[in-house]
Amino acid sequence: MAFWRRNTFVEKERHVKANARDYNDKFSYADNRIKTSKYNIFTFLPINLFEQFQRVANAYFSVLFILQVIPEISSLSWFTTIVPLVLVLAITAIKDATDDYFRHKSDQQVNNRQSQVLIRGSLQNEKWMNVRVGDIIKLENNQFVAADILLLCSSEPYGLCYIETAELDGETNLKVRQALSVTSDLGDISKLMDFDGEVICEPPNNKLDKFTGTLYWRDNKYPLDNEKMLLRGCVLRNTEWCFGMVIFAGLQTKLMQNCGRTKFKRTSIDKLMNTLVLWIFALLICMGVILAIGNTIWESRVGRNFQVFLPWSEYQTSAVFSGFLTFWSYIIILNTVVPISLYVSVEVLRLGHSYFINWDRKMYYSQRDTAAEARTTTLNEELGQVEFIFSDKTGTLTQNIMVFSKCSINGQTYGDVYDEFDQKVEITEKTACVDFSFNPLCDRKFKFYDGSLIEAIKLEDPAVQEFFRLLALCHTVMPEEKSEGHLVYQAQSPDEGALVTAARNFGFVFRARTPETITLCEMGQAVTYQLLAILDFNNVRKRMSVIVRNPQGLIKLYSKGADTIIFDRLDPCSGDLMYTTSEHLNEFAGEGLRTLALAYKDLDEHYFEVWMKKLLFASTVIENREDHLAVLYEEIEQGLKLLGATAIEDKLQEGVPETIACLGLADIKIWVLTGDKLETAMNIGYSCNMLRDDMNEVFVISGHTLLEVQQQLRSAKEHILGLSRVSSAGDVEKTDMFAEDSVFEETIIAEYALVINGHSLAHALEPQLEHTLLDLACLCKTVICCRVTPMQKAQVVELVKRHKRAVTLAIGDGANDVSMIKTAHIGVGISGQEGMQAALASDYSFAQFRYLQRLLLVHGRWSYFRMCNFLCYFFYKNFAFTLVHFWYGFFCGFSAQTVYDQWFITLFNIVYTSLPVLAMGLFDQDVNDQNSLRYPSLYKPGQQNLLFNKRQFFMCTLQGMGTSFLLFFIPYGAFSVTVKEDGSNFSDQQAFAVTIATSLVIVASVQIGLETHYWTAVNHLFIWGSLTVYFAILFAMQSNGMFGIFPSNFPFIGTARNCLSEKSVWLVILLTTVVCVVPGLAVSFLRVDLFPTLTDKVRHLQQTTKRQGPQEQNLRRVRRTSSRRSAYAFSHQQGYGELITSGKNMRTSTVSSARSPQRTPHSSNWIENMLKRKNEVSCISV
């Protein structure tokens, strides 16, 4: 019992004591070993067999095997079932074991990483898996954090350290963490050994942004929050070392709590097959009952007259009992309607399709030497049925690289390139870059193409100089000069890094900073500015400002922020310039660039002194301090003079807009689930053309309470459905009635988008609101969820899976995406910048988002098409093969005698017809890959499950029954009136069996030839080869020699030779083949001619243009043509400016400091204002 039982103890709170393993062990906390694998050496066999026997067919064949070992009812040898069954189970088990072996290997790689642990007074190297709760561990720069630890001290002043959380939330910006002041001086090994503090905190949970606990040490209590914690999966950056105390380890860390469990995934076709096997079993029972009743009647009326020379066996006491035994005999004989070889063939096909994905050179990314990889072989056909894609943003849609692209200075735009005819030229890789060699401190990776800006700099244009001076001063970037002239900027957001780098290249180099000064190198001259104040950024202000004193003693305020915010605070004298700059901003926004407006102000000395006193007073106020500061900031940031605007490109991965547009044409809905801020996510939405200006409405759900979210969701849904706000209970009922009418919802032709915040999503996922959320989301063309946790991503996927019954695909590149990748029907990992966790947990992986288009529209569609055709044909041929026994039963006294030779029954599915159908299932194409991509609508039949469903199965069954009827009765009727050339009758059952068998093999071969759309040498070899092998084996097994060696096993001596030498037999075979094939051929011809599908039309077009050679798809680059300004500010954390001016993050010995690239969510007031002005429905919280 203890073997499988989980520990059901529910942890209410956690007690952890430092340096006290014995004390902590009594709580039985998890060790630091992680496990993503499904099996171990002991559990593999039982769990794997349990999973395999979830396939009804495997259980069905097991029951058949049991029946076949009972000699009284078995008319076939038991090995005909057990050998294929064991083979299928073994092949599947080996495949599953191989997959799990790689998971074990990955786990071992992580578990065996080295960590420095404080044990018995010294630092010792320990494997990660041996780290325990309560241990004190040392981390060094660029090391992964081994467990969730409480930061005790670091090499930085005030116990600060810097971490990158890309593995957790997808953000590459550096986060600041600070130890408690009482532990920040425990840098000594001896002091750390004496540290015996106890932490009492929350139990393990998946909330990445929350931690609550208390440190008890030296009779004092110290509150702990998330700012004191370093979570597993983070990387220590720009910090030489730090020490921490392990609070959560292994599977109880927040990273692993968000990963979700590895689930056993099965395709919809697998599930349908389970249902069909039950149907077939029911049909078998019906046929068995019919034949058993026939046997009982026959034995009671006719059979008893033959007992003189055909006596009943000892156990056969009556006609009814004879019928009972006959029932089971026919169940065994007719079981080949679902042969075990079907499942062997399916596994072979899936394996082949997986290799085609692995071998596809068009999905190979040469820059990182990364090929596409199918990490599972069981889901390929499901790739052709995807309806919902859930995508991460950073690293999946974007490269997470910000590039200074264009700017507007004093009414003049820079960044475009013009030819000699003054026509704008598109910038390509071959376009010549501006030469920055005049600047020895330039960043050589920086590229700019408009030389006129350099000329303006060299001509010392005052507006241009002030523009770049502002960019070099107004930021929170920290410089690190590793060697003379080799500058590295650590920016809280990549946007700021891009702007400061641009200023650097244009001659205004940010060189160093202290809490009181900023040093620039302006056109080769060192200039130091006194830093008087930083007016920090936040999401309400959407701007930041600095106040500096220049060497001439003048006080200046420099400000940058969202254009709508800056324009409201401009001096009237900037009115004309504002109008011009606004036009330029519209142009930039139309190209999908992220914009900022820049302005400055000269400050009077006396005014500034008075204002500074007010600021110092407000900074010491305890209540409403932020409100007081906001009022003062607002006061001084009035009457600004506009300098211009910047435009930054958040570089998308290559081909992202085209891919999204193409998948949209295939009726695939793409939802973006990101940990980024709302503004960033929306900007990327516009860049990808997922959000457009011509959309009827963009709903932003940002309520903080359940009621607010409910109201916003309902009002948005009412707006879409064209219903006015309800005012009475009766109206509510009427609204709900319309809202639940799916037919009505599907007639919505207007385009809407839904953007929802993480805190709002938490409420929307509550049981009482989840249906409203899903209904609204499905009415929208685009859905973007921002600031979501990894577990929320999985919950959104699960919501769609549970209620829409649609195939879902999740794609991401970071550990924060693992949970949704495991939850979705299909998980795709991008081998990207954020580690390999997503790729390791995925079902398919590749290097670029654009390959998703080929994976789904080519490989997925082909796999689905091939699998469906394979299954239709397989069921057809097996019903045709098996039901001949049913018709024969009426002519053999229902004696459970087989029509065919037992060797033919054994070899029919394994040898005679297996290879042609495999060739069709592996290589067939209705249209080629170019047309699959050119016509995305070809993908829709898979989503609608048109190619193989219960109706298609019924049609295949009907066709198979009809063929079996003709296969039996045409030879039967012909033989009753036909004589041999010597005048004798065809009276023997063996000649009849050979004729039917030969007709069946030829009909099956002709039929698969007609079903094949794409012929290869392999198809020809397998079809003609199978026919040749059939006749070779037939003549060999019915030869004198085989009978002489094994007389009991090969009783059909000479039958083939005598039977097939007769012309009349061949005429019967020809007639049977024609009659079996022509009706189906006629129906297919008429269907294509009178009711052609899109596939038929494209295939016809492909055939008519075949001689022109293959035409590559030339999709034009999808460019954003929006007039919406991205209007972001930048996304460093609020309070970072205060951290700089306090000097806490600066070493006293050096200027270089801590700090790093962050990805930038940006604030977008523009979209909010636009929506508010529409007055139709507003889903934005006020």
**What are the binding residues?**
392-394, 496, 537, 560, 594, 674-676, 787, 793, 813, 816-817
Interhelix angle 861-882/341-359, nearest 10 degrees: 160
Please choose, from the candidates 49, 608, 666, the residue with its C-alpha nearest in 3D space to the C-alpha of residue 388.
666
* Amino acid identity for residue 144 in this structure: F
What is the DSSP pairing of strand 752-757 with strand 782-786?
parallel
The rounded distance, in Å, linking the Cα atoms of 359 and 846 is: 12
The rounded distance, in Å, linking the Cα atoms of 849 and 810 is: 12
Which positions make up the binding site for Mg(2+)? 392, 394, 813, 817
Dig out the tokens for 314 from the structure.
């000892």
3-state DSSP call for residue 511?
strand
> Are 646 and 599 in contact, with CB atoms under 8 Å apart?
no
Catalytic residue among 169, 392, 563, 650: 392
Which residues, other chains included, contact 617 with Cβ-Cβ below 8 Å and sequence gap of 6+? none
* Amino acid identity for residue 278 in this structure: L
Dig out the tokens for 695 from the structure.
């959309």
Q: Can you tell me which residue has the tokens 């180099």? A: 509
392 has catalytic annotation = yes
> Are 533 and 635 in contact, with CB atoms under 8 Å apart?
no
Using CA of residue 1040, residue 1044, residue 1045, residue 1049, what is the dihedral sign? positive
Largest CA distance in the chain: 131
Please choose, from the candidates 91, 104, 103, 84, the residue with its C-alpha nearest in 3D space to the C-alpha of residue 52.
91
* Amino acid identity for residue 125 in this structure: N
Cβ neighbour number for residue 511 with a 10 Å cutoff: 20
| Terminal Cα-to-Cα distance of the chain (whole angstroms) | 57
CA–centroid distance for 483 within its chain: 43
Please choose, from the candidates 496, 490, 493, 494, the residue with its C-alpha nearest in 3D space to the C-alpha of residue 478.
490
Please choose, from the candidates 759, 571, 776, 592, the residue with its C-alpha nearest in 3D space to the C-alpha of residue 678.
759
Kindly list the distances between the CA atom of residue 633 and the CA atoms of 126, 533, 541, 601, 1142, in Å, as whole numbers in the listed order: 52, 11, 9, 13, 19
Dig out the tokens for 268 from the structure.
């919809």
The rounded distance, in Å, linking the Cα atoms of 84 and 1065 is: 34
Dig out the tokens for 53 from the structure.
């026997």
> Are 330 and 291 in contact, with CB atoms under 8 Å apart?
yes
The rounded distance, in Å, linking the Cα atoms of 195 and 182 is: 11
Please choose, from the candidates 211, 1171, 1182, the residue with its C-alpha nearest in 3D space to the C-alpha of residue 704.
1182
The rounded distance, in Å, linking the Cα atoms of 209 and 169 is: 10
The rounded distance, in Å, linking the Cα atoms of 985 and 597 is: 101
> Are 1106 and 513 in contact, with CB atoms under 8 Å apart?
no
* Amino acid identity for residue 8 in this structure: T
439 phi/psi in degrees, rounded to 5:
-110, 105
Give the alpha-carbon dihedral of 89, 90, 92, 95, to 10 degrees.
Answer: 170
Q: Can you tell me which residue has the tokens 């009412």? A: 718
What is the DSSP pairing of strand 417-418 with strand 543-549?
unpaired
DSSP structure class, residue 9: P
3-class secondary structure per residue, 258-319: CCCCCCCCCCHHHHHHHHHHHHHHHHHHHHHHHHHHHHHHHHHHCHHHHCCCCCCCCCCCCH
Active site residues: 392
